[in-house]
Structure 1
């Protein structure tokens, strides 16, 4: 509030500052309305035809706006850095004064107690994310962005000092910091499995491919980049492209491999449901820059960028001034970003079909469900589909003629046809999917492989195994609690005799894993195996990108 007890040198509280900036008459041009937005680091006031950005007095380690002098300095840096990519929008740094009566004012006289970046307001309808939501983005628009960025990367600084930021030691400081700063939100916005798997993938990438990072430094790909290149920062007018919010607060987030910049925008296109545009964008950037090593780094940097976004969304949610409804939205977005980061680490950029198969009572259904939850993919179960086709309760074990019909050749064939069809629909929408079924016959697996091959989709079979005593124990326990599976101990010998080992499957598309350990340990081990498989494919040029 404008408290007349304040002296002219008193810095405003956040509450006082917000009240001042949310009052129309505070602004010299007296806007008709004010729209307020906040991030983890800034307050943004949209007051047509201008936008005012205030830096929060926070210190996150990687970002320090804790003093007035630092906020003034970084406001000036923001203006200077962003005029290269958006020269007409950044107008200047505007002081907020406290006069001798203790009131806040943009006009002065008095002592400057806060600073704002003043921008010319850009028409909202042309921001990339809004265009994308209206399905108004064409490949030609992506080519325009590619041209703008390629010109920027050719003009921006390089040199030995900046190149040194491309070493593993410097990059690892950023990724280590991310993991350290998200320890406290494990099982809140990021699962423990995702946290450990992404960290494993990241550190193994450093260990296995140090020469790749050295090559990038030597070839001059480390530049003074944008650092925060996502959809909301690109303004795509018919005759002009403006890219805003280049990072000013920390040089180590801007002195980066251009692959990291490119991966950020590609990741955000994936996140917003347009992996087709993501692939086109990254492919065109590689072509135009003649960057032959870009593809090998994309999944590494996309995983990193998705993790950063998850961290930032989580930080914003923790701000006490964020509305409870908005807080929930930030938390849900954080979860989605972390799951996407896990997908890049364990699977790659392009979603695939995961088939969790095996004999009865090996634990495949529990594993399939957990995989789907961690990746935020749909799960289709043969047990569920089979019963739903006949209108049966999924947790009731039918008897007599109904059970005979349920497991007849006709219903079994229809079950697998529907299961496979459901999976293909998800893949056609550029979404990953998990199938949970025995797939115990060669003909069933062949039906799936033929369908995938005809569409050009990728798959991986995970055969879950367990020793006989473990399986017998699990089957005996099924009488104690509701189970969607109807198989019981007395069925074991017969059903096992019908199971045909998947020897015909290509070895690079089949994983075998024992399920005798606790589920969380099993899931962690499986994701580590998937990460190792992905890391190997990246360097063999077989990456799922």
Structure 2
């Protein structure tokens, strides 16, 4: 295959394009509804595009890796041909001298890094569940996982030590803490790799590589050029998004995405999905360290330093706590749980376990699908609470804070929650939400698209039970729930 120089290809594509975007690995040319990507003709160390064969290999992998999550964006690898008159063409009659990737052009302002404020609770929920589904369908890579994370940690150390603009004393603090935590978590990570948690992942899953189209998150720009950067523990893949959101001050969205991810992933992955959160601080720190050297090499030393400090903080996590939010239907338990979770435990916050979601998970139906009446029979209710408390036990023992979101009308269930905290040696922080009956009825009547199946008949049955003798601290939620949650945090802080 006769080569065409990088300069020749750029000079050929640029004049007929509206815009050219240059990255470390490629040139992208925007023209009408299409984007054309060509790889740089270089060996970058971490990626070798120095020959036409290597560039074709990378483009074909990029198409293959991105198709599952973004099939409408990644279209085809096209031949760049040398025509009889010496000119270049796309899929012409001449001999192929290189290749390019044809993509559908999308609105750049729809990328979430351009507007992180749009990642509200519903979108964060969709993000967590869609990423879990993406991981569940990804090919197994048992040789990855621990191997890839160890390599990245070593690479981070080497790169950060070579950046004089960074505080090298803090770099050494970060490296020592990271290496110690890696040694502590290595057996868990190796076990997860053997149990199916190491897969071909996205590899670069931050907000800059997630697009919002028609309300749906679309993952794009997977790493294709290195198995060490793509054959990962699925939780390490998720960790980039969680770290990115937390660094931007959006722990609320990170908690919602994390909780949704775990609930969805627990439908298909082995039960170690919960225990694996013990390694999350290490994974968050490693992702923050990656961003530190990327920002430093972009001339943003102050931002890089902030990422270093964030990485160090991830490796000194706050201790776990068990919170439990109870109350009648319509009292705002889920709103309350989502408001307090970001403030509890290790970054980005507590995992929320909600009986309405656990019930649907056990039934194998979508969280917003209505459950059959039998799912609310006493034995089925018992299984739901058993599962929720078992999940909470695993999370607490892994060092992750938990918020239980359930009615807790039965005194025995309240006692079990308190006993679980004592068993795990963590503080117990309960809240019992209450509001006038007319407020509860209005909230239940206004529900839509929620995991709760409780209607007005359920609420009225609860109200008919009268005083439940609840000893948990009472929280008045007759008004807006978030201020009540904030006040509860301050009282109990």
Q: What TM-score, normalized by structure 1, do the two folds share?
A: 0.54
Give the corresponding residue for 1:244.
220
Check 1:254–1:65 CA distance in 2 against 1; reply closer, same or farther (3 A cut).
Answer: same
Q: Deviations over 1:41-69 (max 9, x none)?
A: 12222222011111112323332111111
User: 1:86 is paired with a residue of what secondary structure?
Assistant: coil
| 1:209 equivalent among 147, 160, 185 | 185
Q: Deviations over 1:165-223 (max 9, x none)?
A: 223x5532232123224443x223x3312321221122111222332223322432112
Most deviating of 149-158 and 337-346: 337-346
Give the corresponding residue for 1:4.
none
Give the corresponding residue for 2:128.
146
Give the corresponding residue for 2:95.
111
* Cα shift at 1:35: 2.1
Check 1:299–1:37 CA distance in 2 against 1; reply closer, same or farther (3 A cut).
Answer: farther
Q: Distance in 2 between matches of 1:341 and 1:283?
A: 26
Q: Deviations over 1:461-488 (max 9, x none)?
A: xxxxxxxxxxxxxxxxxxxxxxxxxxxx
Q: Distance in 2 between matches of 1:210 and 1:120?
A: 41
Contact 2:131 2:238 in 1 (8 A): no
| 1:309 equivalent among 291, 301, 307 | 291
Contact 1:310 1:335 in 2 (8 A): no
Mark the runs of 5 or more structure 1 residues left unpaired by the alignment: 1-7, 25-30, 318-329, 352-454, 460-537
Q: Distance in 2 between matches of 1:259 and 1:341?
A: 21
| 2:151 equivalent among 143, 164, 173 | 173
Asked if 1:76 is matched to 2:60, the reply is yes
| 1:331 equivalent among 299, 304, 323 | 299
Q: Deviations over 1:52-105 (max 9, x none)?
A: 111112323332111111101111111112111111111111222333444333
Q: What TM-score, normalized by structure 2, do the two folds share?
A: 0.59
User: What RMSD in Å do the two structures reach over aligned CA positions?
Assistant: 3.4
Q: Distance in 1 between matches of 2:173 and 2:28?
A: 36
Q: Distance in 2 between matches of 1:344 and 1:251?
A: 24
Summarize the alignment of residues 263-302 of structure 1 with structure 2, pairs less than 5 Å apart: 263-290=239-266, 291-302=273-284
Asked if 1:343 is matched to 2:310, the reply is yes
Q: Deviations over 1:11-34 (max 9, x none)?
A: 21x43333222211xxxxxx5xx2
Summarize the alignment of residues 407-422 of structure 1 with structure 2, pairs less than 5 Å apart: none
Asked if 1:164 is matched to 2:143, the reply is yes
Asked if 1:9 is matched to 2:9, the reply is no
Q: Distance in 2 between matches of 1:191 and 1:9?
A: 48
Give the corresponding residue for 1:128.
112
Mark the runs of 5 or more structure 2 residues left unpaired by the alignment: 267-272, 319-341, 347-395, 403-493
Q: Deviations over 1:114-164 (max 9, x none)?
A: 3211101123343222342xx333211111112211212222222xxx122
User: 1:204 is paired with a residue of what secondary structure?
Assistant: helix
Q: Distance in 1 between matches of 2:73 and 2:302?
A: 33
Task: Please identify the structure whose Cα radius of gyration is greater.
Answer: 1
Q: Distance in 1 between matches of 2:72 and 2:314?
A: 42
